[in-house]
Structure 1
């Protein structure tokens, strides 16, 4: 549905060149709710503006529905953009227009007749839960209601793609949840592919099935949300994951750890069925080694249980290796924890 091939975007301001996006390869399949996350200045907003050609790439190709947007003439590009809806962080509503008129704007530009416009706008207002606000002005609405108007407006032209640029960052947690559930409903009922730009990992966790992590204009990690949450490789990704999943030993526990010669820490990741099976119990019972469980936590992502356990193992090296092999055969990911976790203990 959306594919970026070696896309870069460079801006020049007052003689200074800024590489906002560098060599991006990205593919969003039809039906995805695809999240792009990164800290401020990572290039996220530039990336999403490239998808609908609000910004044109300096290098590379942006393909939508299999065709490079760079090959369109102006008329064809305008037609293609009608298939891509967009909602914004600060709503971008016309304060002088009522809710009905704001939602109707794309249909007016498409020169639809009044009856068709009225039918579509009222249908959308009902869908987003604002049937009673058609005659209200934006100033009379809450932030969540304004964003619902923005969503209805973005859906007016029946797009197959919906782009969301920090669409929930100006909202409180409860309102954010309601807007995310609305986006999930749009994806399911209208079969619209959704691409979300955010700096909040909780947004990714709640509704996305795939994620890309950006830093300094590049994608540093991408994949299914389950894979990225379960085993983040890059330090930046690990920091984001920690904001929603506690998956490391707390400082107070670290201080209580007693080290032994030859003891090693391992992080075990259990996914799906392995998280509910007594695999760790079987390992402890079957192998002659000392195991100290230092940390355990479970969470649910994409209706799949993800468990994290950190253990301290001591004993015969060969026996420990056999135990770890046992875990791997049963679908458990095993990662040795860096030894510097003990640095403060042995000083």
Structure 2
């Protein structure tokens, strides 16, 4: 649905050259809720502006719904942009217009018949739970309600793709949760592919199925949310994951850890149905070892349970080796972390 091939974006102002994007390769499949996360200045917003062609790449190809945007004429680009909805951080509503009129803007610009506009706008206001606010003005709404209006407006022209640029960062946590649940409904009920730009890992955890992590204009890590959360590789990704999942041994436990020649420490990752099994009890029962649980954390990502544990396993070397193999055979990811 969205693809970028070796995309570069360079800005030149006077004698200063800034590389905003450096060789981006990215693919978003139809039906994805794809998250792009990074700190300020990572290049996230530039990337999303290339998708709806508010910015043109300096080099490389941007492909949307099978069409290379670089090769389209101005009229073809305008037609393509109608398939892409956009939700903004600060709502971008017209204060002088009613909620009905704000949602109707794309349809009015497309010169749709009045009856069709009325039917579509009321359908969308029903969908976002604001039918009774049709005659209200933006100043009369809360931040969460304004963003719901923004979502309804973005859906007015029946887009195939919805772009969300920091769409929840101006909202409180409870309102953010309700907006994310609404975006899930948009994805599921309208079959719209969504790309979310954010600096909040909790947003990625809540709704996305895939994620790309950006830093200094590059994608440093990409994959399914479950894999990236479960086993982040890049230091920046690890820092983001730590904001929502405690996944490492506390320093106080490390300091008090008694290291002996007949014990080793392992990081054990279990997900899915296996996470509900008593695998620690099972491995102790099956092998002549002792297990000390140094740390354990359970979380849910994309309706899948993820458990991360740090286990100190003591016993004969051969028994420890067999115990590790037992855990792997159960589907656990096992990695020795302290030797």
* TM-score, reference length from structure 2: 0.96
2:211–2:224 CA contact under 8 A, matched in 1? yes
Aligned pairs for 1:172-251 within 5 A = 172-251=172-251
The superposition leaves residues 2-32 of structure 1 with CA deviations (integer Å, 9 ceiling, x where unpaired) of 1111111111123211111111111111111
1:127, CA displacement in angstroms?
A: 1.0
1:245, CA displacement in angstroms?
A: 1.2
| Paired position in structure 1 for 2:334 | 334
The superposition leaves residues 227-270 of structure 1 with CA deviations (integer Å, 9 ceiling, x where unpaired) of 11111111111111111111112233333322223543211000
2:268–2:335 CA contact under 8 A, matched in 1? yes
| Paired position in structure 1 for 2:15 | 15
| Paired position in structure 1 for 2:275 | 275
* TM-score, reference length from structure 1: 0.94
Aligned pairs for 1:276-315 within 5 A = 276-315=276-315
In 2, the alpha carbon distance for the partners of 1:281 and 1:17 equals 59
Q: Structure 1: any 5+ residue segments left out of the alignment?
A: 340-347
In 1, the alpha carbon distance for the partners of 2:94 and 2:262 equals 67
The superposition leaves residues 56-92 of structure 1 with CA deviations (integer Å, 9 ceiling, x where unpaired) of 1111111111110111100010000000000000111
3-state DSSP class of the match of 2:293? strand
C-alpha change, 1:338 and 1:237, in structure 2 (3 Å) is farther
2:162–2:195 CA contact under 8 A, matched in 1? yes
Q: Structure 2: any 5+ residue segments left out of the alignment?
A: none
Which stretch shows the higher mean deviation, 230-239 or 316-325? 316-325
The superposition leaves residues 102-130 of structure 1 with CA deviations (integer Å, 9 ceiling, x where unpaired) of 11111111111222111111111111111
| Paired position in structure 1 for 2:165 | 165
C-alpha change, 1:289 and 1:191, in structure 2 (3 Å) is same
In 1, the alpha carbon distance for the partners of 2:24 and 2:7 equals 5
| Paired position in structure 2 for 1:45 | 45
- Output the aligned Cα RMSD: 1.4
In 2, the alpha carbon distance for the partners of 1:133 and 1:15 equals 51
Instruction: Tell me the matched-pair count.
Output: 339
Aligned pairs for 1:57-136 within 5 A = 57-136=57-136
In 1, the alpha carbon distance for the partners of 2:151 and 2:200 equals 20
1:46, CA displacement in angstroms?
A: 0.7
2:221–2:234 CA contact under 8 A, matched in 1? yes
3-state DSSP class of the match of 1:169? coil
